[in-house]
Every structure is written in structure tokens, then in C-alpha cells.
């Protein structure tokens, strides 16, 4: 059996100069329960991260708030010194008070602090892609993006993106900064962000769907995709990822897992080719 290869998902160039294989990996599942505290099995987490690059993944999505900083430490332990073609995308703008607790803070001094800490914890001099995790409604957009642009001008950030935003948010942000990516909840069962996806497609902005497998719900036995998957000789998660890859050339799915076997299964979706009729069938089933 051949080794899955993320390169078969095709490539996308973020910001005009960061070429990545479209199927990436998200590290949110590596810290403890509620994305809080240390990994329950750090040695396994390191194995999973090292396996990602073996499978051709060169886009890893993280955030300072994952743990917090637990995911960043694992990435550094597993992969530093980093390969030249590895793009690490991270996010700032959340504070953490405990498991599953997330409060946005967009004060400029806080955003600057978190960017500096990301650089230190990841062991890098410049962040390839820094995304504002949430726009803080208590702070002007000008102040939030203005600080990130200042850090970009200082050489600490290469490209800027946004997370959980509307088309209007992106348009307003584009007046203040060059926005090269958006990261919203989107999967075959949850398509609320389709207007944003269409805007991103028209403007060649990377669209990074988080929870592309609905935290595993789409991959469970008995799920809406399970019967279809059996018929196709694939897993339900592979169908869900193949559907995303086919939906738009700017989509960069980042399925997360703490299992090497599940990682291999997910990456195998890169080579799964589906007809228009089959894609419609997946859409209807979900």
C-alpha cells in the first residue's frame, strides 16, 4: 500500500509567495481536554507532528491559545529546525481562563505581546502567516490591525489573515492591511460561511476551514456519510475532505487528530477524485 501524499491535493500560494500543499494539519487536538493544559501523551503528539511532514504536509495551523502555548512547544520539539518549505500559521487575540474558555482581547499591547511570545515559543524570527483569532468588538479595528501591520513592517510577520469574519469584515480590513487568508468554521455539514468562501475564491484569498470534519462527527460509523464512504471504498472523513478540496481551489483544509492512523487516513483524501455527481451526493447526504 502506497504512503499517502498531501502533495496530491494540489498547491496554493498564500499571499503570492508561500506555496503550500492544500491539505494541511491543525494542532488544536494535541493539548489537553478543552484545549487546555499539557498533552495527555506528548510523545505521541510529537510522533503525529513528525508524521505530518513525512506525508508531505507543509502547512501547520496553530495558535498561542492552544494550551495555551502547549501546541507551539510540541511543534518546536517535533520539527525544529524547520524545513524551508514548512509554513506555520498561527493566531493571536484570545485569552484563556480554563478548559473551553475563550475571551477575545484585541488591545494592541496584548497582540504585540502574543506575537513576541509566538516567535519565542516556536523558535522563529518571523511568522509566515499571523491571523487575528477574533476581531475584538471592544477595540477599534484600526487599533487591532494597525498593531499587526506595525509588527509586519518590523519584519516579525510575513502575511496577515483573519478568523471567524464576514465579507464586510474582510472588506473593512482590506482598507487597513493586505489580508491573504480567512479561517472560518466550514465543512460539508456546516456551510454558513459560503458567502465568505465565494468572496475568497473570487479574490484568490486562502480559505482555511476549521473543524473540516466537524470534530470527527462526519467520520463516525453511522454518520450521514458512512454509507456513501463504504460504497466508494473510502472513509467518511476522506469523502468530507475530498468534498472540501473540490469545492474551491482556495480551500486549505487543516484536519486535526492526535492519531497517526487517523492522520494517514485523512491525507489519503488528497488522492481521492470524485465526479460532480458524487460531490452532489455528498452535499445532499450531509
| Domains in the chain, CATH or no CATH each | 8-216+248-257 (3.20.20.100)
- DSSP-derived letter for residue 37 is S
Candidate from 79-88, 93-102, 215-224 with smallest mean pLDDT: 215-224
Would you place residue 149 in the very low, low, confident or very high pLDDT band (cuts 50, 70, 90)? very high
Is the model's pLDDT at 222 over the cut of 80?
A: no
What pTM does this model have?
A: 0.95
66 is catalytic: yes
- Active-site residue, selected from the candidate residues 25, 66, 82, 110: 66
Cα separation values, 241 from 157, 194, 216, 282, Å: 29, 16, 12, 11
Contacts of 279 (CB under 8 A, 6+ apart): 243, 246
Would you place residue 218 in the very low, low, confident or very high pLDDT band (cuts 50, 70, 90)? low
CA separation for the pair 114, 200 (Å, rounded) = 27
Tens of pLDDT, residues 114-126: 999 999 999 999 9
254: which 3 cell numbers? 487543516
Among residues of the chain, what percentage have pLDDT more than 90? 85
Amino acid at each position: 500500500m502506497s504512503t499517502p501524499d498531501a502533495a496530491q491535493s494540489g498547491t496554493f500560494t498564500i499571499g503570492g509567495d508561500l506555496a503550500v500543499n492544500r491539505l494541511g494539519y491543525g494542532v488544536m487536538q494535541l493539548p489537553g481536554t478543552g484545549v487546555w493544559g499539557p498533552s495527555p501523551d506528548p510523545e505521541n503528539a510529537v510522533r503525529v507532528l513528525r508524521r505530518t511532514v513525512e506525508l508531505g504536509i507543509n502547512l501547520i495551523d496553530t495558535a498561542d491559545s492552544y494550551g495555551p502555548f502547549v501546541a507551539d512547544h510540541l511543534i518546536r520539539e517535533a520539527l525544529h529546525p524547520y524545513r524551508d518549505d514548512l509554513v506555520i500559521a498561527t493566531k493571536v487575540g484570545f485569552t484563556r481562563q480554563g478548559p473551553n474558555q475563550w475571551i477575545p482581547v484585541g488591545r494592541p499591547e496584548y497582540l504585540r505581546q502574543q506575537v513576541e511570545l509566538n516567535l519565542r515559543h516556536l523558535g522563529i524570527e518571523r511568522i509566515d502567516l499571523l491571523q487575528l483569532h477574533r476581531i475584538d468588538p471592544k477595540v477599534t479595528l484600526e487599533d487591532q490591525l494597525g498593531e499587526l501591520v506595525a509588527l509586519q513592517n518590523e519584519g516579525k510577520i510575513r502575511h496577515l489573515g483573519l478568523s471567524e469574519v464576514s465579507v464586510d469584515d474582510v472588506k473593512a480590513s482590506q482598507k487597513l492591511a493586505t489580508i491573504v487568508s480567512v479561517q472560518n468554521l466550514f465543512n460539508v455539514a456546516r456551510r454558513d460561511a459560503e458567502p465568505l468562501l465565494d468572496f475568497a475564491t473570487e479574490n484568490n484569498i486562502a480559505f482555511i476551514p476549521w473543524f473540516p470534519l466537524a470534530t470527527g462527527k462526519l467520520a463516525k460509523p453511522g454518520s450521514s456519510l458512512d454509507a456513501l464512504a463504504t460504497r466508494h471504498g473510502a472513509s467518511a472523513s476522506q469523502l468530507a475532505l475530498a468534498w472540501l478540496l473540490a469545492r474551491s481551489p482556495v480551500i486549505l483544509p487543516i484536519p486535526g487528530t492526535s492519531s497517526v492512523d487517523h492522520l494517514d487516513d485523512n491525507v489519503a483524501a488528497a488522492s481521492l477524485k470524485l465526479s460532480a455527481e458524487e460531490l452532489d451526493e455528498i452535499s445532499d447526504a450531509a
